[in-house]
């Protein structure tokens, strides 16, 4: 297969070109026939491969299957026009589908008109939340979801998705908002096991898993290039869709209890907007906010990864606008909340997409498929859709994260454990909240015990390092302390106690120098502590000095007149401080 071009082959696509979406690209006069040809080729491939995935995620969300196709059209167009990533593919994904089902299934029957209405409201509310976040430039909010918390949340959600999709490949109904309820439901329904469905579903899962993990290697051994082999391997679900649909239809397996997709009605549901109550909006708001935040964090992480490979840039606040418009479009097209998906984006990238035009053309192609080819899916077995979901989410379970985090950071490891346990035992919303709280508590605990070091001069240099790690020169009348955390309410008292404790160990002490190279911020509690420390040391005849204080921190100290009240001086460097104070001590003798 011919090697496709990449954005690195087009210098004009690097830098900030994509930051204004498709509109900016077209207005800039950069787009040309050659780019269009490759984007169109990628769009054709991607649109065919997204059919089973789109249907599967609608099934996961508890919506009519055509809603998955709806969610792959207008939302993709909206993001292409307003987003900043050249390759991010926006549509229904596993996590947002599960969150939709989790939010709506307790208050409406999945698949019912009321359920569809609530899904539309959830998408519209998510879009509004994202647009408000964009207006307020709140792209930084994604930083509150640390990597361990997101990893554990996605892993827990993937486990629940796996259990929930056992219904599709066994015919055993699995219900519940947490792991214990799902396991009990599965056990109680064992009598409804359908052996033909189990056999067919197992074959589908095995084939999709093998093709996802090993088919590309086999194709490379047959002489295909790596990129071509990977792309052909990703076409395996489409091949399975065709074979499974033909097989079920020709052999009449639907008459033997195999559940099929059936006819997909194309008309949008009739919505009774007057039936919406304020209490309904209040109930949906927390989940809408949760979907917005999680979807945004996932999308930005994916977009930044691919942007770095393409030497492009992603603007977080513009991404909020793009995703917000995409979710508004999802609501207006009677589908479910959407976001950028990893598997969709990888597929888009591997197919050779260069610009947002590829997503725009993919959406157009999906629209054509929806209008003229859905009748061909009549005999598609639902077991295949469940198999697509199961294989897709298997890669989301990151068990290797825990031993890695345990070796590197126990605080992050406990955050991971708390989040995963919370998701599995308490449900998605409470699990994520628990993970965030544990993560914040670990951060506060760490900052409440700041690292401090007595530093001395490394002989023959002007560098000052920890006396416990290096052989350094110290002066009996001068105590140099380096503070390696910002000074804030959580650690102010602890820092003061450590300094005073160290002072008591030096009988000849005349000067204390606080080396502030590690202090990035100081709040009111930190300033108050320094003022109190300055007074206590002054009473003992000890001068307090500062060195290497960063500009923003020093500005705050000047605002409250602390520098004027300081018993000692403020030095630009630690070496300058030591040389000056040593000279003062020698002259005093």
Residue ranges of alpha helices (H) inside 353-400 are 357-372, 382-394
* Burial per residue of 450-484, b for 16 or more beta-carbon CB atoms within 10 angstroms, e otherwise: bebbbbbbeeeeeebbeeeeeebeebebbbbbbbe
- Cβ-contact 128, 332 below 8 angstroms: no
Residue 281 phi, psi dihedral angles, 5° rounding? -65, -40
**End of a domain among 386, 412, 440?**
386
Structural domain contains residue 232: no
**What was the pLDDT predicted at 560?**
87
CATH value at residue 567: 3.30.750.24
**What was the pLDDT predicted at 8?**
55
Q: How far apart are CA 504 and CA 348, in angstroms?
A: 65
User: Are 438 and 554 in the same domain?
Assistant: no
**End of a domain among 386, 416, 438?**
386
Structural domain contains residue 243: no
User: Are 289 and 434 in the same domain?
Assistant: no
Q: How far apart are CA 96 and CA 112, in angstroms?
A: 19
3-class SS string, 201-226 = HHHHHHHHHHHHHHHHHHHHHCCCCH
Structural domain contains residue 170: yes
Tokens read off for 301 = 């992480």
- Cβ-contact 66, 360 below 8 angstroms: no
User: Are 179 and 298 in the same domain?
Assistant: yes
User: Are 309 and 431 in the same domain?
Assistant: no
User: Are 278 and 415 in the same domain?
Assistant: no
pLDDT along the chain (589 residues), means of 10: 54 54 68 84 86 92 93 94 87 92 91 91 96 88 79 91 91 89 92 93 94 91 85 86 93 91 79 77 92 90 79 81 95 93 83 86 92 90 93 88 90 92 91 89 84 93 93 93 92 92 91 94 93 94 95 91 92 94 84
Structural domain contains residue 167: yes
**What was the pLDDT predicted at 140?**
76
Structural domain contains residue 197: no
Question: Rg for the chain (alpha carbons), in Å?
Answer: 30
User: Are 364 and 419 in the same domain?
Assistant: no
10 Å Cβ neighbour count for 251?
12
User: Are 20 and 52 in the same domain?
Assistant: yes
User: Are 419 and 458 in the same domain?
Assistant: no
**What was the pLDDT predicted at 32?**
79
Structural domain contains residue 153: yes
Number of domains in the chain: 3
User: Are 432 and 476 in the same domain?
Assistant: no
User: Are 472 and 540 in the same domain?
Assistant: yes
**End of a domain among 413, 429, 448?**
448
Structure letter (DSSP) for residue 90? E
To the nearest 10°, report the CA torsion of 44, 46, 48, 49.
160
SS3 502: helix
Tokens read off for 351 = 């197919």
- Cβ-contact 125, 131 below 8 angstroms: no
Structural domain contains residue 499: yes
Structural domain contains residue 44: yes
User: Are 161 and 303 in the same domain?
Assistant: yes
Residues 6+ apart with CB under 8 A from 25: 17, 18, 31, 355, 356, 357
User: Are 362 and 411 in the same domain?
Assistant: no
Q: Domain of residue 17: give its range.
A: 7-190+259-386
Q: How far apart are CA 126 and CA 337, in angstroms?
A: 7
């Amino acid at each position: 297969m011919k090697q496709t071009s990449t954005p690195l082959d087009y210098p004009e696509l690097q830098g900030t070109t994509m930051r204004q979406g498709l509109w900016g690209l077209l207005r800039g006069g950069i787009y040309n026939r050659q780019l269009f040809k490759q984007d169109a080729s990628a769009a054709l491939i991607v649109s065919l491969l997204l059919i089973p995935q789109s249907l599967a995620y609608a099934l996961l969300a508890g919506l009519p299957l055509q809603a998955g196709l709806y969610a792959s059209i207008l939302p993709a167009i909206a993001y292409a026009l307003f987003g900043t990533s050249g390759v991010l593919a926006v549509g229904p994904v596993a996590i947002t589908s599960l969150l939709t089902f989790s939010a709506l299934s307790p208050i409406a029957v999945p698949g019912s008109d009321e359920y569809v209405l609530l899904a539309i409201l959830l998408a519209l509310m998510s879009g509004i939340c994202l647009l408000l976040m964009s207006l307020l430039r709140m792209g930084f909010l994604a930083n509150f979801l640390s990597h361990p918390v997101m990893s554990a949340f996605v892993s827990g959600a993937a486990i629940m998705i796996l259990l929930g999709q056992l219904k599709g490949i066994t015919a055993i109904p699995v219900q519940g908002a947490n792991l214990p309820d799902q396991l009990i439901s599965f056990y109680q329904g064992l009598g409804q096991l359908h052996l033909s469905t189990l056999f067919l579903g197992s074959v589908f899962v095995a084939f999709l898993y093998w093709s996802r993990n090993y088919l590309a290697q086999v194709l490379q051994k047959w002489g295909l290039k790596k990129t071509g082999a990977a792309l052909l391997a990703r076409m395996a679900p489409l091949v399975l869709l065709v074979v499974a649909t033909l097989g079920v239809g020709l052999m009449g397996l639907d008459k033997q209890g195999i559940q099929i997709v059936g006819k997909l009605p194309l008309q949008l549901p009739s919505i009774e907007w007057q039936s919406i109550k304020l209490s309904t909006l209040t109930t949906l708001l927390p989940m809408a906010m949760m979907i917005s935040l999680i979807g945004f964090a996932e999308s930005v992480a994916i977009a930044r990864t691919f942007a770095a490979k393409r030497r492009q840039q992603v603007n977080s606040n513009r991404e909020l606008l793009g995703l917000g418009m995409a979710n508004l479009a999802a609501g207006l097209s009677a589908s479910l909340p959407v976001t950028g998906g990893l598997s969709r984006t990888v597929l888009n990238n591997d197919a050779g997409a260069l610009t947002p035009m590829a997503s725009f053309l993919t959406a157009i192609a999906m629209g054509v498929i929806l209008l003229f080819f859905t009748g061909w899916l009549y005999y598609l077995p639902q077991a295949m859709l469940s198999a697509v979901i199961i294989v897709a989410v298997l890669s989301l379970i990151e068990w290797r994260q825990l031993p890695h985090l345990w070796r590197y950071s126990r605080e992050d490891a406990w955050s991971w454990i708390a989040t995963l346990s919370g998701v599995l035992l308490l449900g998605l919303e409470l699990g994520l909240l628990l993970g965030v709280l544990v993560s914040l508590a670990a951060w506060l605990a760490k900052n409440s015990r700041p690292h401090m070091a007595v530093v001395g001069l490394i002989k023959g240099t002007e560098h000052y390092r920890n006396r416990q790690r290096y052989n350094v020169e110290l002066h009996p009348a001068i105590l140099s302390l380096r503070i390696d955390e910002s000074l804030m309410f959580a650690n102010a008292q602890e820092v003061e106690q450590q300094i005073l404790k160290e002072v008591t160990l030096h009988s000849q002490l005349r000067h204390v120098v606080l080396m502030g190279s590690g202090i990035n911020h100081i709040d009111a509690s930190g300033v108050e502590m320094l003022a109190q420390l300055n007074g206590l040391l002054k009473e003992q005849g000890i001068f307090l000095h500062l060195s290497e204080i960063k500009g923003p921190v020093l500005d705050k100290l000047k605002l409250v007149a602390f520098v004027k009240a300081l018993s000692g001086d403020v030095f630009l460097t630690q070496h300058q401080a030591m040389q000056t104070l040593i000279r003062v001590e020698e002259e005093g003798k």
